[in-house]
Amino acid sequence: MEPRFSKIIQGCMSWGAWGKQLPKKEMVSLLNHCVAEGITTFDHADIYGDYTTEKEFGTALSESGIARESIQLISKCGIQYIGNTRDNEIKHYQYDADYIIWSAEKSINDLQCDYLDLLLLHRPSPIMDRDEIKKGVAHLMEKELIRSFGVSNFTVSQMQLIDSREFIYANQIAFSLTAHEAMFDGTLDFMQLNAITPMCWSPLGKLFKEEDEQTKRIHSLLDELTEKYEATKDQLLLAWILKHPSGIHPVIGTTGKERISLASKAAKINLTEVDWFKMLVASQGHKVP
């Protein structure tokens, strides 16, 4: 069965110890709010919260009353992190078959579910063995523990290396108005040609984090466009991404219910091509070639 994911994906990295440290009651409330807004896909990684957030989320999910079949769960594996829960000498990546299987099974157990809709390799390793990856993923597919497989932060050549042995359903990359290199380095072109679903983390980029000439130009333009489209700046940044023909799914990180509600409506904003290019030019600081 081919998985389907909500157009806007809710990222859960900041729900636990690495962010808001939401108590179970608030997680339950936030879960139900997301689903009510049509955001049914939740993005995790085993590493979040020093390997603790998935378990906290799973407890909240089990008490939320939400049917497992009505949502989609994504997790990532492969980063061995120096923290309080694992005895690692150095941060590194691990992608042998046994580890991929063990990690996926642990995420499934922590999330209190029977399967993952999508398992991603979190970051490429310079010594990853595609045969080992294929072996691990094939086992998980055969046991119906994952419904699809993908990667995160992989370049075109790295996708080609893995895809020659195992089908990649998705690649989750950094992409935003202020970090749009994937449109010009062949990454999104390759994904379109090979029917790989793009997902993007940090979709708002640095607009609300840094003040420099680039962000000043963008803010100035968005001050005009917010009135034209009766939308917030957050929504316009998401609408800009959603207009790309590769079908990118933005992964939002906010835990604010109002911002989540606004994000869910971004797909209804239809930017004109002229305004889309105005935003690109504001970001780049020069006219298109």
Q: Which residues are catalytic?
A: 48
Rounded CA gap, 101 and 94, in Å? 11
CB 188 within 8 A of CB 213: no
CA distances from 67 to 35, 54, 61, 109 (A): 11, 17, 9, 17
251: part of which helix (H) or strand (E)? strand 249-252
Q: What are phi and psi of 186, to 5 degrees?
A: 95, -5
Query: Between 97-110 and 53-64, two packed helices, what is the crossing angle to 10 degrees?
Result: 40
CB 164 within 8 A of CB 214: no
30: part of which helix (H) or strand (E)? helix 24-36
